[in-house]
Structure 1
Amino acid sequence: MAYSFYDILQLVGALGLFLFGMKVMSDALLKLAGNKLRSFLATMTSNRVFGVITGFFITSVIQSSSATTLMVVSFSNAGLLTLTESISVIMGANIGTTITAWLITILGFKVSMSTIALPLVGFGFLFTFSKRKNLDNWGNFIIGFALLFIGLQFLKDAMPDIKNNPEILAFLSQYTDLGFLSVLLFLLIGTVLTVVIQSSSATMALTLIMTAEGWIPFELAAAMVLGENIGTTITANLAALVASYKAKRTARAHLAFNIIGVIWVLVLFYPFLRFVSWLAELLGSQSPYITAAAIPVAISLFHTVFNISNTILLIWFINPIAKIVEKLVPEQIEPDIKVDEPKFLNKEVLKYPETAISVLLKESKYLFKTTVFEIVSHALHIHRSDIKSDLKLKKVIKKSNILFELDVREQYVTRVKYIYGQIINYATKAQTDLDLNEQQNQQISEIKIANRNMVEIIKDVNELSRNITIYLNSENKYIQKEYDKLRKRVVKVLRVIHLFRTEKDNEAYHNTLKRLKDRARDNKNMSNANLDKLIREDLITVDMASSLVNDTDNVNDIIKNLIITAELLYGKKDTLLDNGNNT
């Protein structure tokens, strides 16, 4: 056989050029439409039909089902998508990936792109000189598009010429005449090729070329396409290996969906192929059983009909599929993480703006509602359960006569400082490394401000706590009463914030917080008048008065920072961020 090692290298090189073109084109499209597409993904999955449409639309635009699936896995990992939402998007992505097959079939086989591909590279290269980011990305898209078809032409040229090498057919005939066993064998070949190449589009291109060159008949090419649908799930499953159980479930759901589809098509394999052949002839093509040149069109049609049929059939079984996957990948009960370590932050979240914002927000909310809430409560010598209860505030203050042994400074160093540093670190990296729009940049800035406010709250409560400890059981009932007033003011704010973040209808609590914030601003003059009376009537000592002045200012600052932080973290009902994790 006149097919040397050099020819094999030519074939591998042509495949590499095709893949490179696909990557350049897909990356450019992601940069052009990435933010909008991810926002679309986060907002358009409210029901299964919208999820399918979203998956189809995104994959059609970026020309990569793997990129869409990886995006879905990342979103699941960050808690932006539920398992059922993820499954519906993946169903749509499977349909969207058929666009690539049609692109190759029509432009690669029906139209000769090789004559205009090189001029397109030159045209696209001119755009890359532009200082405008969008024009540069359009240039890369045009170059990638042209390289894809140059690679496809090289692939066709690098394929062995069967007319001059008839022994190749003799080699293949050993495996093409085994009946249904041949179908299973070529299904496995399609799966393995896709796993190795890591691109179902490239395997599809190889399959289409093999059919056009007469290497394999229609039914074996269809079997390879079924294998490609299984092989393409490997990318997502590999990405999910180091992710959370939610991401693993999403990846397994993709695999389960495609395997179920392949099984039922294999059961109806030959009738299904005859239906596709009839449909191809109905649309004006020739029968793939008679003419080899008609096979690429029939294969693209088979790919499309298979994915649409599979989605229409299984869209009604999303919940059962989700339950099966949940049993295969049980929920991982996370070990008790020390509070001084981040609970949600990991490097994976910095892939996309949406996942970074979602996880930064979750980490900040967790720090605020657990650690900061506890430190402030205990610094006031109040039980958190009393603050969350329906007990009247007067009774809460009266009840809390037991002093907590609390070192606020130590609590900050061991429980807050490292987490705060990590949140600021991740937020800064997101603003530096990710392509954020103005709104996303503003959201991250607000998260950073909220965390700085938390640190200020702990700093102010540290000053307050020392004097509360001294004066809570003082024999001077007047200073004790004044400090109880201060405690009551902070406890009231903590209670309203708790209700604001846990109640669905929270507008009334938000209005209450705004009034309390305004009152904290205006409280200085009122406090001074009351203080003057206490000093004038010798009801408290000068030292007590000095402490009371400082602590009144501290309480006003604590209240303002608590409310501002709550507003920043919980006040804006943005669908991109509010995914059921507000409590």
Structure 2
Amino acid sequence: MPIAALITFAGGIGLFLLGMRLMSDGLKVAAGSALRGLLARATGSPLRALASGVLITALVQSSSAVVFATIGFVNAGLLTLTQAVGVIFGANLGTTLTSWIVALVGFDLDLRILAMPAVALGMGLWIAGRGRGPALGRALVGFGIFFLGLDVLKGAFSAIGPDEVFGHAGARAMPAVAFTAVGIVLTLLMQSSSAALAVTLTAAATGLLPPLAAAAMVVGANVGTTSTAVFASIGATAPARRAAAAHVVFNLVAAAAALALLPWMLGASAFLTAAIGLEQRAATVLAVFHTSSKLLGVALVWPFTGTLVAMLERRFGGRESDPAVPRFLDRAVAATPRLAVDALARELARIGALTQAMARTGLAGTFGDDSALLREQDVVDRLGEAAIDFAATVNSGGDPVVESALPDAVRVVQYYRSMAERAVELGRLAPLAAPPAELAPTLHALDAAALAALADADPGVAHDADHLALSIDAFEAAYQHAKSELLRAGSRGTLPSTALVGALDRISILRRIVEQAGKAARFIAHLAPASVPTPPAAAATDAGPPDRSTP
């Protein structure tokens, strides 16, 4: 291969990958809420899950993005593994659209006529757009660069004669499995099955690859694309690893079947190409073959979905036994901003449930044995650090909802950390052993008001903001009354000074816990992607003194 052709080939690959990345990233941000909605509606039936996978992958042009988003929904409990498997099967089928774009558009038109207007319009939106405009602009620029890269690849392959690659009879006699391995390696190197398929289809269209060899490389690209999910699942949550395993199983079964039937499937693809009225050229036949191999995989694996799910659910559960391991945070989900906010909200709700339990334990009092509370505080701290680290990896993509939600999530972490610390302090303070008769009802009422406010601030329970505000106000009234009664008892000498200081410290700590719980509940209620981008005004005007310890 001439050096000039090799450099041109590498440049074409680079342009193609850049275009795919820009297009996929832009569409994911622009269609963030639509992607979330389509996946949520996939819960209706397995067939709807399959159709959703096909449709969403066709929209965002990245099966990996759809698989990662599906993992996020399984983590969040919005999809069962059975439904997620259907979406994953559909995503694998939807990714064949790239082959059809290359086959039907890449060889009939002057690609620069498509590319240049897309780049020009896209840059205009990217620079001057508002709202989702910049994301759409980025996608259009990627679309244009995608076709420029394809045009460069066509030119590079046209400069290379088939004999330069298959100059020896031995090379022509290579078995199909060897070309499958080439397809796998090509996909691993480029980390994009779409790029590997574009190279393969373009090489076949220019006569550089025999049809059988190109078909085997298509099969290899389908196997190689599982590497992204496998790498992403390393150290990930159990649902993430199960979903990634389903993705791998599907592609391995589909690849094994396609390889076993390769000559017959290629012949059938040529027949189908003619039957549907398309020109029988290499790229079109390969696009039909690619879709057929995915459909074959669905036909083979679909009847055994229940068995596959049952097998996967028995595996990958070891890490979840550690309470300090996040249940919903996964780096794969961070690639889709709105889904990342969903995952954050659910992990914060889990942290909130832990701190709620700590507060109730502290209210009951441990009196000298605070080891259990300290262990739980360590869990809260570690989960909080993981949540903050996760938030730092999320790229908002200019989405105002996400830009507002990420700092709010960090605030909530700080509130819950403060709650956990105060719960330990509360547990170490014993309530008054024998309060004066006039104080007992007041202190009991304060504890009851605290428990009611904590219940209304529980992130796992749906309460409206007005109801929460009333609970916080009721506690504040009970606190002020208890404080006045304690000070009155101290001034009269019915309560010793040491007991008075301890009792005041205890109710002050309890007040701080309730304040932090209320603030956290208000912010968590506004972390859902469908919410308004600004936090509620009530969050900035909490009762009581300003909180100096948290953002």
Verify: 1:277 aligned to 2:270, yes or no: yes
Verify: 1:223 aligned to 2:221, yes or no: no
Match of 1:300 in 2: 287
Query: CA shift at 1:444, angstroms?
Result: 5.3
Secondary structure of 1:58's partner?
Answer: helix
Secondary structure of 1:478's partner?
Answer: coil
> Whole-Å Cα distance in 1 between the matches of residues 484 and 496 of structure 2?
16
Q: Which moved more, 1:227-236 or 1:301-310?
A: 301-310
Verify: 1:520 aligned to 2:479, yes or no: no
Secondary structure of 2:318's partner?
Answer: coil
Go from structure 1 to structure 2 and tell me whether the alpha carbon gap of 1:29 and 1:528 turns closer, same or farther (over 3 Å shift). closer
Query: CA shift at 1:483, angstroms?
Result: 6.9
**RMSD of aligned Cα (Å):** 4.6
Match of 1:357 in 2: 341
2:331–2:390 Cα contact (<8 Å) kept: no
| Larger Rg, first or second structure (1 or 2) | 1
Q: Please list every run of 5 or more consecutive structure 1 residues that lacks an aligned counterpart in the other structure.
A: 289-293, 383-402, 578-583
> Whole-Å Cα distance in 2 between the matches of residues 226 and 420 of structure 1?
42
2:72–2:343 Cα contact (<8 Å) kept: no
> Whole-Å Cα distance in 2 between the matches of residues 305 and 260 of structure 1?
14
What is the aligned counterpart of 2:2 among 1, 4, 9?
4
Match of 2:545 in 1: none
* Equivalent AA in structure 1 for residue 149 of structure 2: G
Go from structure 1 to structure 2 and tell me whether the alpha carbon gap of 1:574 and 1:6 turns closer, same or farther (over 3 Å shift). closer
What is the aligned counterpart of 2:444 among 473, 482, 485?
485
Query: CA shift at 1:104, angstroms?
Result: 1.0
What is the aligned counterpart of 1:321 among 299, 308, 314?
308
TM-score scaled by length of structure 2:
0.77
> Whole-Å Cα distance in 1 between the matches of residues 413 and 231 of structure 2?
35
Match of 2:91 in 1: 93
Verify: 1:244 aligned to 2:237, yes or no: yes
* Equivalent AA in structure 2 for residue 264 of structure 1: A
> Whole-Å Cα distance in 1 between the matches of residues 386 and 55 of structure 2?
34
Go from structure 1 to structure 2 and tell me whether the alpha carbon gap of 1:227 and 1:324 turns closer, same or farther (over 3 Å shift). farther
* Equivalent AA in structure 2 for residue 112 of structure 1: D
2:182–2:220 Cα contact (<8 Å) kept: yes
* Equivalent AA in structure 1 for residue 352 of structure 2: F
> Whole-Å Cα distance in 2 between the matches of residues 342 and 404 of structure 1?
30
> Whole-Å Cα distance in 2 between the matches of residues 572 and 31 of structure 1?
20
Query: CA shift at 1:250, angstroms?
Result: 2.0
> Whole-Å Cα distance in 2 between the matches of residues 447 and 213 of structure 1?
53
Query: CA shift at 1:256, angstroms?
Result: 0.9
Q: Give matches, 1:448-463, under 5 Å.
A: 450-451=412-413, 453-454=415-416
Match of 1:171 in 2: 167
2:345–2:409 Cα contact (<8 Å) kept: yes
Secondary structure of 1:284's partner?
Answer: coil
1:478–1:539 Cα contact (<8 Å) kept: no
2:456–2:471 Cα contact (<8 Å) kept: no
> Whole-Å Cα distance in 2 between the matches of residues 64 and 449 of structure 1?
33
1:456–1:561 Cα contact (<8 Å) kept: yes
Q: Deviations over 1:330-351 (max 9, x none)?
A: 32245646x6x97876766644
1:486–1:555 Cα contact (<8 Å) kept: no
Q: Deviations over 1:482-530 (max 9, x none)?
A: 47624751685389569x778xxx7799999787555435546876998
Match of 2:150 in 1: 152
2:396–2:403 Cα contact (<8 Å) kept: no
> Whole-Å Cα distance in 1 between the matches of residues 105 and 70 of structure 2?
30
Match of 1:60 in 2: 58
Secondary structure of 1:109's partner?
Answer: coil
Match of 1:434 in 2: 396
Match of 1:386 in 2: none
% of aligned pairs identical? 25
Go from structure 1 to structure 2 and tell me whether the alpha carbon gap of 1:452 and 1:412 turns closer, same or farther (over 3 Å shift). farther
Query: CA shift at 1:284, angstroms?
Result: 1.7
Q: Please list every run of 5 or more consecutive structure 2 residues that lacks an aligned counterpart in the other structure.
A: 532-551
Query: CA shift at 1:238, angstroms?
Result: 1.8
Query: CA shift at 1:94, angstroms?
Result: 1.4
Verify: 1:255 aligned to 2:248, yes or no: yes
> Whole-Å Cα distance in 1 between the matches of residues 454 and 113 of structure 2?
72
Go from structure 1 to structure 2 and tell me whether the alpha carbon gap of 1:322 and 1:129 turns closer, same or farther (over 3 Å shift). same
Match of 1:113 in 2: 111
Q: Deviations over 1:450-489 (max 9, x none)?
A: 55554665677678667744x22x3x55267347624751
> Whole-Å Cα distance in 1 between the matches of residues 126 and 397 of structure 2?
18
Verify: 1:422 aligned to 2:422, yes or no: no
1:460–1:558 Cα contact (<8 Å) kept: yes
* Equivalent AA in structure 2 for residue 520 of structure 1: F
Secondary structure of 1:260's partner?
Answer: helix
